[in-house]
Amino acid sequence: MILHLAAFRWKDDVTDDDVAALTAALSEMAVGIPEIRSYTAGANLHLRPAGADYGVAAVLDDAAGLDAYLDHPAHLAVYEKHLGRMIAERSAVQLPIEEGSFR
Amino acid sequence: MILHLAAFRWKDDVTDDDVAALTAALSEMAVGIPEIRSYTAGANLHLRPAGADYGVAAVLDDAAGLDAYLDHPAHLAVYEKHLGRMIAERSAVQLPIEEGSFR
């Protein structure tokens, strides 16, 4: 299985309302994409100094599942409406995980 | 519970051997820190374009568990011996997750 991680730094003009609308849109999107096994997205809790502004983590079965998610019309729509104009910097990684090992 | 994510871009002189040694050291470290519920660290699979070089994901009970991990002598030792000299850029996020919801 694949753990997909993304961290974002926002442009200076991004508001709390923008972030709340993004999180709502991503949460709704995730429910409608069956290839997504687990999903979480939200503003950084900033429990430590020097972090990014926002994070997403998703569990997929495989690379095809990741493509199905990231290329899904609902994901592209969230990017178009919210994410695209918010991002100053994005950092993403895919890691292999064993089923049930990461929880 | 807390999902802690970190993505790294390496300096140009970092070798595959450096990365393998780091992954071995982090894996050994994670086993010895009881506050870490789940842990994975490794080179980006690069299933999509434009990703970072390396990622870490950890599940902790709470902010105190995150501090216990990141301030643990074994973590500081891995930073000192491996990670510190490898990092060009680091992007980290903490997200709240419900127990059992992310797997």
Query: Residue B70 — very low, low, confident or very high, per pLDDT cuts 50/70/90?
Result: very high
Alpha-carbon distance values, B34 to A58, A97, B39 (Å): 25, 20, 11
The per-residue pLDDT for B32 is: 96
Nearest beta carbon to residue B96 from set A5, A42, A54: A42
Residue B103 clears pLDDT 80, i.e. is over it? no
Whether the predicted interface score ipTM is above 0.90:
yes
State how far the Cα of B55 lies from the Cα of A13, in Å rounded to an integer. 28
For B12-51, the pLDDT digits (tens) are 999 999 999 999 999 999 999 999 999 999 999 999 998 9
Which residues fall within 8 angstroms of residue A82, CB to CB, at 6 or more apart?
A18, A21, A22, A25
Q: A-chain residues within 8 Å CB-CB of B66?
A: 47-48
**Domains of chain B (ranges, CATH numbers):** 2-96 (3.30.70.100)
For A2-33, the pLDDT digits (tens) are 999 999 999 999 999 999 999 999 999 999 99
Residue A48 clears pLDDT 80, i.e. is over it? yes
Q: A-chain residues within 8 Å CB-CB of B55?
A: 3, 5, 93-95
Residue A102 clears pLDDT 90, i.e. is over it? no
- Count of CB atoms situated within 10 Å of the CB of A66: 21
Contact A94 B46 (CB under 8 A): yes
For A59-90, the pLDDT digits (tens) are 999 999 999 999 999 999 999 999 999 999 99
Tokens of B20: 């393998």
The per-residue pLDDT for A98 is: 86
Average pLDDT, chain A: 96
The per-residue pLDDT for B88 is: 97
Contact A93 B54 (CB under 8 A): yes
The per-residue pLDDT for A72 is: 98
The per-residue pLDDT for A99 is: 81
